[in-house]
Structure 1
């Protein structure tokens, strides 16, 4: 018996050491593999004083900024496409799991955290910010790390103001509308966007739906009643149609096309972490109420409003994929199986391989 207790004590004693050793090994081997493209201030580990600041800089949901949230073992900030390619090759070679982050907009934080229990590193694309304006064909090519703060620098050189002209709306430039959506007071100049900081941070949960049939008056009355009862959930309706309806569903992965009247985003936000269960429960009840009035078979969802409630790899069937992509999900699985047969690029809602 004493021998068994000794072995158990030894294993428990070694566990933290083994884990920290594994993290250190990942950091060392990945950094060494990247050495031929290394430039100053592009590779960060938890031992670096600014690691936490960089990690939080694009983590917009406070739910995933807590001390208990799983953190990456390293962050790499590439400066060009070659850096990205090298990082992917190194991670593949070394068996290191990757998360890729641009704006950190992922509502479930999958671009900078994980619930899969695997060590991982983050490729943060925030330094890839080039924006190229082509006045000849009225187009703009923006690198994936470019955000509004970068675009504001070229607005006066290439684009006219976009204004709202209805009498019940006030006219504003496009950049002013961005400021309005971000809830900045009118007296704050657009240059504040150059600080690359969100106007506010909170804890939140979001869900989505698509509507193809007019919601009857009785349905709207029931919706008002349940939302007024809870007070917290917010609904945002984005109208669809126009050119979006003219593009075939199978032309690109995004399938929510002809016949969609509008998209619904449900958002519940809070500042006290102790209130999470209450707010998440309320938004799910609003979502459940809307079941009658939204798309069915599948109940469509918008992939950019990531929602793990609808399912995830390893913990449910694959029906969540049809909610995001409809029949395009079949094609995406074929492509995934052909080009990433080892499932290297994976996360909680990554496209699964064909069995």
Structure 2
């Protein structure tokens, strides 16, 4: 029997609507469950966004910092949930577990591989966006601050400066970082040589575990508290707030940026920087940004090395230190800008001169781009000959960036095992390889291949066994979990690069607090297999 025209139309309509027929019950069941496990009559539908909501795409892209993961072909969540308080998240965890819904959790959206809001291997999935958890309570008398994880580090800096001109916090120079993921992976910045990482200066936390319980440091225990301060996000629970130890900063600090090109002896100066950067006075931080630049109107290109610095003191003492330790740079008094700490964070964020710090309250990163990045750690200087080979690689793409970040100081004094972040004593500097582009039509493979090529070129000159990497510079090239049945052996491929021997302690913590691997993603910490427990 031949079906009628109307029957065919009916079948087509059903097929076209089937995604909505399948997904709507998930949302309905989720909302019903939230109401059951919440002690309020809160209208949860007002903080849940589905693809049918006109604002869904806006919310999804609001903090997606790598534009590679905003393209139409990238998998999208079934819905986005934007909780307003911790009890909402508790209900989300309970209901997601009951209904078998896979979660991705986002605070600032800076995950280099988009794992906080994209899932290639677990479908369907939902995004819990913590951007509305934005409370900051600064207590100058006790040198501390409670900070919810949707706060950006720029907002935190500004709120500290409102209360005191002589307090700060040692976290990142990019000021749109969500405090949830930033501290979860370590959080380094311009004061790391003086005070260590952001994660080194956490004294308490609020975390919602796999059972939906809200735990502080005492309730979660020291093993779990250790794991969440540098063990990277998405493996152990959902951190909702950090209690931070504020650090003293002088009323006057000094910043400078001095640029040297190849024609000005950049290669020899950079080699000298490598020899001394980790041995400088711990008040002095000098990172190097390495890019290509045009030197003639005809477009001849060169390499420009920009020495971008924060000194916790005045220009007079800085010049004395530089003359004694690094005269090769040729720093002069006119290069130095004396300012206060909050304005130094504007400078180190590479914003335009005279930008007011109130810009941090806008929570926006003006430099959002499509990008690919990788990281390394150097234990000894890279030779001048090897640097010259690196320069040739940089000429092969339009907008390359390599950043050398100095270690030493406090970073050498903290034990590798004090937090999961292991890159401490013996590390001279960290390296970031980055290529970015603005046009969605660009050849993505060309840029990704370039970062891999540069990474391969640098292999002889960086850490070995393992070749170390920074967990907050997520890189799926290092290996990944394939599904919910995360393999301990597979995960060790990337886990030991990010955490060295601390990876094995992280696995034991994971096995204890989340044995069924509810909190997971492509590079999460796995529990031990049953036969090894």
Aligned residue among 149, 160, 165 for 1:159: 165
Q: Does 1:222 align with 2:389?
A: yes
Residue 6 of structure 1 is matched in structure 2 by none
Residue 527 of structure 2 is matched in structure 1 by 353
Q: Does 1:330 align with 2:504?
A: yes
Separation in structure 2 between the aligned mates of residue 12 and residue 162 of structure 1, nearest angstrom: 70
In the alignment, is the contact (CA less than 8 A) between 2:102 and 2:122 conserved in 1? no
Q: Which piece of structure 1 moves more, 96-105 or 127-136?
A: 127-136
Separation in structure 1 between the aligned mates of residue 343 and residue 21 of structure 2, nearest angstrom: 50
Post-superposition Cα deviations, 1:156-187, rounded to whole Å, max 9, x if no partner, equal: 32233562244544234443344345443224
> Alpha carbons of 1:212 and 1:39: their partners in 2 closer, same or farther (altered >3 Å)?
farther
Q: Does 1:195 align with 2:285?
A: no
Residue 142 of structure 2 is matched in structure 1 by 137
Q: Which piece of structure 1 moves more, 161-170 or 135-144?
A: 161-170
CA positional deviation for 1:12: 9.8
> Alpha carbons of 1:196 and 1:15: their partners in 2 closer, same or farther (altered >3 Å)?
same
Q: Does 1:69 align with 2:74?
A: yes
Residue 342 of structure 1 is matched in structure 2 by 516
Residue 415 of structure 2 is matched in structure 1 by 248
> Alpha carbons of 1:292 and 1:12: their partners in 2 closer, same or farther (altered >3 Å)?
farther
In the alignment, is the contact (CA less than 8 A) between 2:403 and 2:431 conserved in 1? yes
Q: Structure 1 length as normaliser, TM-score? A: 0.90
Q: Which has the higher strand share?
A: 2
Residue 7 of structure 1 is matched in structure 2 by none
> Alpha carbons of 1:244 and 1:187: their partners in 2 closer, same or farther (altered >3 Å)?
closer
Aligned residue among 42, 59, 78 for 2:64: 59
Separation in structure 2 between the aligned mates of residue 291 and residue 329 of structure 1, nearest angstrom: 22
Residue 465 of structure 2 is matched in structure 1 by 297
In the alignment, is the contact (CA less than 8 A) between 1:184 and 1:199 conserved in 2? no
Q: Which piece of structure 1 moves more, 47-56 or 340-349?
A: 47-56
CA positional deviation for 1:216: 1.9
CA positional deviation for 1:221: 1.9
Q: Does 1:262 align with 2:429?
A: yes
Separation in structure 2 between the aligned mates of residue 184 and residue 246 of structure 1, nearest angstrom: 32
Gaps in structure 2 of 5+ consecutive residues:
3-9, 167-250, 255-314, 320-330
Q: Does 1:146 align with 2:151?
A: yes
CA positional deviation for 1:39: 4.9
In the alignment, is the contact (CA less than 8 A) between 1:336 and 1:351 conserved in 2? yes
Residue 112 of structure 1 is matched in structure 2 by 117
Q: Which piece of structure 1 moves more, 98-107 or 129-138?
A: 129-138
Separation in structure 2 between the aligned mates of residue 328 and residue 16 of structure 1, nearest angstrom: 50
Separation in structure 1 between the aligned mates of residue 64 and residue 57 of structure 2, nearest angstrom: 11
Q: Tell me, what secondary structure is at the counterpart of 1:283?
A: helix
Q: Tell me, what secondary structure is at the counterpart of 1:257?
A: coil
In the alignment, is the contact (CA less than 8 A) between 1:131 and 1:151 conserved in 2? no
> Alpha carbons of 1:182 and 1:244: their partners in 2 closer, same or farther (altered >3 Å)?
closer
In the alignment, is the contact (CA less than 8 A) between 2:467 and 2:497 conserved in 1? yes
Q: Tell me, what secondary structure is at the counterpart of 1:279?
A: helix
Residue 79 of structure 1 is matched in structure 2 by 84
Residue 47 of structure 1 is matched in structure 2 by 52
Gaps in structure 1 of 5+ consecutive residues:
3-9
Separation in structure 1 between the aligned mates of residue 383 and residue 22 of structure 2, nearest angstrom: 58
Q: Structure 2 length as normaliser, TM-score? A: 0.61
Aligned residue among 227, 235, 243 for 2:402: 235
Q: Which piece of structure 1 moves more, 121-130 or 271-280?
A: 271-280
Post-superposition Cα deviations, 1:57-97, rounded to whole Å, max 9, x if no partner, equal: 11011101111111111212222322222211111111110
Separation in structure 2 between the aligned mates of residue 211 and residue 278 of structure 1, nearest angstrom: 26
Larger Rg over CA atoms = 2
CA positional deviation for 1:332: 1.1
In the alignment, is the contact (CA less than 8 A) between 2:49 and 2:80 conserved in 1? yes
CA positional deviation for 1:279: 1.2
Q: Which piece of structure 1 moves more, 273-282 or 342-351?
A: 273-282
Aligned residue among 440, 448, 461 for 1:273: 440
In the alignment, is the contact (CA less than 8 A) between 1:208 and 1:263 conserved in 2? yes
Aligned-residue CA RMSD (Å): 2.6
Q: Tell me, what secondary structure is at the counterpart of 1:298?
A: coil
